[in-house]
Amino acid sequence: MTTSPMTTSKPTVVLVGYGMVGHRFLEALADTGAADRYRVVVLAEEPRHAYDRVALTSYFSGKSADDLLLAEAGFTDRHGFEVHLSSPVASIDRAAKSVTTAAGHTIGYDTLVLATGSYPFVPPVEGKDAEGCFVYRTIEDLEAIEAYAATANVGAVVGGGLLGLEAAGALRGLGLETHVVEFAPRLMPVQVDDGGGEALRRTIEEMGVVVHTGVGTKTVVVTDGRATGMTFTDGSDLETDLVIFSAGVRPRDQLARDCGLTVGERGGIAIDELCRTSDEHVFAIGECALAVDGRVYGLVAPGYEMAQSVARQLADETGKPFTGADLSTKLKLLGVDVASFGDAFGTTPGALDVVYSDSRSGVYKKLVVTPEGALLGGILVGDAEAYSSLRPLAGTGNPLPVPAESLVLPAGLGAPVSLGSSALPDDAVVCNCHNVTKGQVRAAVTEHSCGTVPEVKKCTKAGTGCGSCIKLLSTLVSDELEASGVEVDKGLCPCFAHTRAELYEIVRVKRIATHRQLLAEHGRAPEGAEGCEVCKPTVGSIIASLAPELEASGHILDGEQAALQDTNDHFLANLQKNGSYSVVPRIPGGEITPEKLIVIGEVARDFGLYTKITGGQRIDLFGARVDQLPQIWSRLVDAGFESGHAYGKSLRTVKSCVGSTWCRYGVQDSVAMAIQLELRYRGLRSPHKLKSAVSGCARECAEARGKDFGIIATSKGWNLYVGGNGGATPRHADLLAQDLDDEQLIRLIDRFLMFYIRTADRLERTSTWLDRIEGGLDHVREVVVEDSLGIAADLEALMAHHVDDYQDEWAATLADPDRMRRFVSFVNAPGVPDPSIRFTPERDQIKPDLVLLATEEELLAALDPDNALQETR
């Protein structure tokens, strides 16, 4: 492998480091056409090709190392890039213009590009090197953490910044009691202010993560070589089995130091505006580089800009000067949306703040504006929906087209959630990762004939980085196509040109009872096509919701319907992360007899299931194998239970407080109403899941205003709220009607639900539907309450059909041998359980074992060795 640039007719470019920025450099070389002009040698320290380090935590939610790879198959071979994995560089000889690897191989270069990145900073605390102490940087780090966590109960993360909260989410997902220790007085001190940090902390603590701020780690307590605890600078301590250090990163500049390149006083390889180091033949890009503004940038977008600048220079083009970068960022940390952009802390003289804070829902929004109303920056915690439209406007100097306060108020108060694409100037940066402007997106559509978002992404690379701009990108593409006179395809999927609402009406009016018939008569797929993963479950849901009127079977496992369902509906249970399933019996209103409680306990005990009481007032049982589901449900059905539909896009629960029966504040019987509503709407198939609640007084203990339809008692009857939801983007429900008696309440809920099912898009929650539908809440009120369209009787009749036709899916399944045949782990060995599903004990229960998987030998031993394995999942 010992070579020099003279051994080839092409000049040699050596890239040291093959992370995200290094890969972007290779892509940029290929994009400019310069790849063919050079011999490009890549020396990678890690044992695999470049992967998405931003999405590293998704490894714990099921993505494999291969899933995270950035390059498509054959990318490096196609462009002639020579990639050497597990080949760290040990030294650079600038006089000889060569590098030497740790294995002793020497490679000559004409141009050297250093993309060595950064390394995790571990504070110099006593015990930091003990067994059980980790950093959070590579896939190998994650594999080691996952393996060690199997023997741990408590984990702590030192550092409450971006990566620290990512690590905390990983530990929580691995089932550990999780602590976060941050020296600063708030979480994410670089990105958010005190208000944002407090909102983030409150939401994270509600998830069970313990947060320690304003304290430093003093020591790691070590027992028999293993970490067993921590002590802090405030005198407190913590017992823990596992410690992750995520206290920031430092530039990897040792190679540069050793060969005499200029480095910053506090680290980082000094570069000029064109990313050239103190040696004209050597460039530095990414987290190892110290820019001319004196900063080392720890985000991927600035590194991409540097990579593109160097690639253009090698292509004899004008490299774009790099003098600084936008530090805007949007992430989802522990399920919480957090965004920061522009001058988020209001350092500009005369800056003013516009703030909205709702501590109940964990939402904090701050916009920083000039006295003239121009946007300077902002912070969004808990609801970052407006980030993609706001960020491009920050720093433009143009006054906002609407008052700033309307952009932070919740949509339920009549405020817009985004500005739309028309408010953005052409020079506004849409994709921060690849520095793509609105004008470039428009040009991709008008000048390069890109008609879809994937085509625009391929043409401009917009949306191929962190992905936070995808929604805005989609809007821009649609708006530009429409402005050009091109009809925008608003069809459900490639198989149908119709929307979900249009397909609903077609199915109903023409009484079509199968997906196959609908596709043949109204689809646009090639003859013989069977549909796609979008239209199959969508049409299946439509047919199921209209089954009584179509005089068809409403059971999702009958005939063609079974083939349309996803895994959860296919087995009438929720698939869990290790291949087992959950069992969730319906418990209307949370009311249950001792006898039924005993049955649930006995079933959980006899089948060894993990048992948990949920926030929806029922009991979840986890860990059932697919072949055990009929046995479990047979006992539950015999005891009077029925399916809780936790697996379906249908009604989940109607939560309630104890109401006037027990509570001294209650003014109506909320329990009786909740039971009546849950039994009425159980099994109702809809575009998305439905949740409800009934509170017996205005104290709102059932949290009804966080539900798709919520009911709050008054002294005169009931108030009906619609369009609320909790989750990552909370929204308070809006008042639809008030002081209703029981009959009026049920009539309006019937109409509301059927109008939603009839007109919503696939996977569109009622909250999103209410914000999207033309006329919003006022239009829905006109249709549902005032019957402005004259369809109220029709909507009521549809619901009456559903109520009259309801049958419990599990009871019907148990009575049908054909349906029962699907509940086996292996279709050719129906009596054999899946040996790959394993558990380990934790807190007197079980948890999924994701480390020890069944080997091929174990699987073959479990089955007839002459049979091929055919799993049903």
- Give the lowest-confidence range in 410-419, 551-560, 828-837: 410-419
Which CATH architecture group holds 5-119+251-314? 3-Layer(bba) Sandwich (3.50)
DSSP-assigned letter for residue 423? G
| Per-residue pLDDT at 554 | 58
Instruction: Give the ranges where 523-582 is alpha helix by DSSP (H).
Output: 535-550, 560-564, 567-571
pLDDT of 420 reads 59
Averaged over 735-743, what is the pLDDT? 94
Domain boundaries, the chain: 5-119+251-314, 133-247, 326-419, 421-484, 500-551, 650-806
In this prediction, residue 556 has a pLDDT band, given cuts at 50, 70 and 90, of: low
Secondary structure (3-state) at 107: strand
pLDDT at 851 over 70: no
Q: At what angle do helices 300-314 and 20-32 cross, to 10 degrees?
A: 30
Residue 394's pLDDT band, with cuts at 50, 70 and 90, is confident
Contacts with 73 (C-beta within 8 Å, 6 or more apart), sequence order: none
Model confidence at 141: pLDDT above 50: yes
| pLDDT confidence tier of residue 170, bands split at 50, 70 and 90 | confident
**650-806 shares the fold of 326-419:** no
Average pLDDT, the chain: 86
Q: Which of 3.30.200, 3.30.390, 3.90.660, 3.40.50 would CATH assign to domain 326-419?
A: 3.30.390
CATH number given to 133-247: 3.50.50.60
Q: pLDDT by residue (tens digit) across 675-698?
A: 999 999 999 999 999 999 999 998
pLDDT at residue number 647:
85
Task: List the alpha helices (DSSP H) in 275-356.
Answer: 300-314
Q: What's the rounded Cα separation, in Å, for the pair 323 and 291?
A: 7
- Which of the following CATH numbers is that of domain 650-806: 3.40.50.11540, 3.30.413.10, 3.40.50.2300, 1.10.8.60? 3.30.413.10
With H, G, I as helix, E, B as strand and everything else as coil, classify residue 515.
helix
Q: Is the pLDDT of residue 61 over 80?
A: no
- Give the pLDDT mean for 444-462: 81
Does residue 835 have a pLDDT over 50?
yes
Amino acid 854: pLDDT: 45
Give, to the nearest 10 degrees, the angle between helix 535-550 and helix 500-510: 30
Report strand pairing: 133-135 vs 242-245: parallel
Eight-class DSSP state of 421: G
Of the pLDDT bands very low, low, confident and very high (cuts 50, 70, 90), residue 402 is confident
Q: Is pLDDT of 208 > 70?
A: yes
In this prediction, residue 388 carries a pLDDT of 77
Q: What is the pLDDT of residue 868?
A: 38
Confirm or reject CATH 1.10.10.1100 for domain 421-484, answering yes or no.
yes
Q: 607: buried, middle or exposed (CB in 10 Å: 19+, 13-18, 0-12)?
A: middle
Token pair recorded at residue 454: 């994937």
**Average pLDDT, integer, range 420-432:** 72
Q: Is the pLDDT of residue 855 over 60?
A: no
pLDDT at 867 over 50: no
Phi-psi domain of 599 (left: phi exceeds 0; alpha: psi -120 through 50; beta: other): alpha
* Tens-place pLDDT, residues 774-822: 778 888 999 999 998 899 999 999 999 999 989 898 998 899 888 888 7
Is the CB of residue 219 less than 8 Å from the CB of residue 231?
yes
**C-alpha span between 91 and 599 (Å, rounded):** 69
Binning pLDDT at 50, 70 and 90, where does residue 43 land? Answer: very high
pTM comes to 0.57
Q: Which amino acid makes up residue 812?
A: A
Query: What digits encode the pLDDT tens for the residues 688-725?
Result: 999 999 999 988 999 999 999 999 999 899 999 999 98
- Of 34-48, 344-358, 360-374, 442-456, the least confident: 442-456
Q: Does 293 have pLDDT greater than 50?
A: yes
Lowest-pLDDT choice from 198-202, 320-324, 540-544? 320-324
Res 553: pLDDT: 61
Instruction: Name which of 192-196, 461-465, 740-744 the model is least confident about.
Output: 461-465
Q: What is the mean pLDDT of residues 601-606?
A: 95
DSSP three-state, residue 740: strand
What is the percent of the chain where pLDDT is above 90? 48
Beta bridge partners of 622: 582, 610
Given a cut of 90, whether residue 557 has pLDDT beyond it is no
pLDDT tens digits for 105-137? Answer: 999 999 999 999 999 999 999 999 999 999 999
pLDDT surpasses 90 at 408? no
Lowest mean pLDDT segment, chosen from 666-680, 777-791, 829-843: 829-843
Range 650-675 average pLDDT: 93
